[in-house]
Amino acid sequence: MRVISSTAARPKRSIRSAVIAAVIALGTTLTSLSAANAEEQSWVGTWMASPQPIWNSDFPFPTKIPVSVDDQTVRQVAKISLGGSRVRLVFSNTYGDQPLRIGGASLGLAGENSAAEPGTIHKLTFGGKDGTVIPPGAPAVSDPLDLTIEDQAELAISIYLPDQTPLTTFHWDGRQTAWFGDGDLTMAEDFPATDTTDARVILTDVLVDTPNAGAVVIIGDSITDGNGATIDADTRWPDFLAERLIPHRIAVLNAGISGGRLLQDKMGVNVAARLERDVLSQPNVKAAILLIGINDISWPGTDFAPDQQRPTAEEMIAGYRQIIELARMNNIRLIGATLPPFEGALSGTPLDNYHHPDKDALRQEINRWIRESDAFDSIVDFDVVLRDPDHPARIISTFDSGDHLHPGDEGNKAMAEAIDLGLLLDR
C-alpha cells in the first residue's frame, strides 16, 4: 500500500495559505529583528581625540608624554557632550608597529585631580574579557557598559598597560591633565600619580547609546584643538559649541590636531587622509565644520618646514574641493570656516617668520574663495569674528591668547556663539 503523507494530501489552497502564513511570520520576525537592530544602532560619538603618530627625528618628541611605559596605568578625564544609557570606548594602536596589550580598563566619574568619585568606577571588558590586544594599525572597541551618564559628564578613564609599551599613538594637545601611576590602578578611586601629561594616550573615542541624537565633527588644527585655551577648563570653541547644542541632542566631536594641515603631514596626517577615520566612520554624523589651512600657508620658511614651498591658492582650493566632495558622497553637510587673522603670530619661536605679508595675502585670497564660491554648504566667518576692526590683519586683543594666532577663552566663546545652529540641525 502506498502511503500518502498528510502534506501531499493537503489541498493546494491549504498549501498556499500555509506558505502565505509562513511568509507573514517570517516578515514579522524580520521586522522585529530590524527594530531590534535599529534600537542597537543609536550609538553616537560624544567625545574624541584624533590620534597622531610620533614625530620624526627632525621634529622633537613632545616632553609632555613618556616615550614608553611599563606596568603602569594612565588615567584621563574626558568631558563628554551628550549622555546616554550605555557607553563604550575606543582605543587606538593606529601608529603602532607592534601589538599593544591593554591589561584592564575602567570608567568612572571624575573627582578632584586624579581621583574618581567614590562608588562610580566600572570595569570595562572586551568580548567579555578584562583586557585585549590591539594589532598594529588597529582600534579596539570596548563592550557596551550599561551605565546612565548625564550630558556634559566628566569621565575618569583608566587604562592599564602591563607590558613595555611604546606610546606611538597619542594626541599631543589634549588641554587636560592626565596621570600615570605604577601597577594596575584601574579600580582605584584615589590614584597615586607618579607623573602627569596633558596629552591624550591611546584613548580616541567615547560613544553613548542615546536615541534621536547626532553629532557634528569639527575638523581643524591648533585653533580647534585648543592651543591658547586654559588647561583643565574645557574652554575650546568646540566645548562652548557643545553646550549650545545639548538641547538639540547634537554632540560635538573635536577633530582638531595641533599643527594639522590641509595638504601635508607632520604633526598629524593631512585632512583627506584622516577624513574617513575622524568623520565618515563616526556614527550618526549630521554635519562637519572645516577650519584648516593656516599652517599650510605659514609653515613654509620656518624652522618646522624650512625647505617646503608655500602652496598656491589653486592647490589649496583643490584640496578643499576634495574634502567637500567626500563629505557630499557621504551625505554630510560641510560648513567652511574662514581663516582668522594672524599678524605677529609666534614671533621669537621656532615658528618665527610664521607671518609674512605675502602669507597674509594668500590667507585673504582663500577667505574670498570660501565666502564667494558657494562651494561649501554654508560658511562661518571666523575672520570677521576675531579680527580687530581697526587692524584687520590682527586678532583683537580681547580675544587673543597672547601669541597672536590662537584665541583665548573669550575668543573661543565668541567663535562658538557666532555659529548659526540652524546650519548644524536636520533640515
Shared-domain flag, residues 240 and 218: yes
Residue 312 lies in a domain: yes
Shared-domain flag, residues 199 and 328: no
Residue 40 lies in a domain: no
| Among the ranges given (12-26, 144-158, 217-231), the one the predictor scored with the smallest mean pLDDT | 12-26
Shared-domain flag, residues 232 and 300: yes
Mean pLDDT of the region 205-228: 97
Residue 131 lies in a domain: yes
Shared-domain flag, residues 173 and 229: no
Shared-domain flag, residues 158 and 292: no
Rg (CA), the chain: 25
Residue 404 lies in a domain: yes
pTM: 0.89
Looking at the structure of the chain, the number of domains it has is 2
- Mind listing the pLDDT tens digit for each residue in 97-150? 999 999 999 999 999 999 999 999 999 999 999 999 999 999 999 999 999 999
Instruction: Give the 3-state DSSP-derived string for 230-270, with helices as H, strands as E and coil as C.
Output: CCCCCCCHHHHHHHHHHHHCEEEEEEECCCCCCCCCCCCCC
Q: 251 vs 87, 227, 395, 399, CA distance in Å?
A: 14, 21, 29, 25
CATH code assigned at 387: 3.40.50.1110
Beta strands in 328-376 (DSSP E): 333-337
Shared-domain flag, residues 292 and 188: no
Choose the final residue of a domain: 192, 210, 228. 210
Shared-domain flag, residues 162 and 295: no
Mean pLDDT of the region 65-82: 94
| Among the ranges given (141-155, 285-299, 339-353), the one the predictor scored with the smallest mean pLDDT | 339-353
Residue 132 lies in a domain: yes
Choose the final residue of a domain: 151, 176, 210. 210
Choose the final residue of a domain: 188, 210, 232. 210
The residue among 292, 250, 258, 287 whose CA lies nearest residue 49 is 258
Residue 420 lies in a domain: yes
Supply the range of the domain harboring residue 370: 212-427
Shared-domain flag, residues 160 and 192: yes
Residue 216 lies in a domain: yes
Shared-domain flag, residues 379 and 395: yes
Please, what is the average pLDDT of the chain? 90
Is the pLDDT at 174 greater than 80, yes or no? yes
Q: Where are the alpha helices (DSSP H) in 65-126?
A: none
Shared-domain flag, residues 173 and 289: no
Mean pLDDT of the region 196-209: 96
In sequence order, which residues have a C-beta less than 8 Å from that of residue 171 and are 6 or more positions away?
A: 49, 50, 51, 52, 199, 200, 204, 257
Mean pLDDT of the region 348-357: 85
**DSSP, res 60:** P
Categorize the per-residue pLDDT at 59 as very low, low, confident or very high, splitting at 50, 70 and 90: low
Shared-domain flag, residues 252 and 180: no
Shared-domain flag, residues 205 and 234: no
Residue 254 lies in a domain: yes
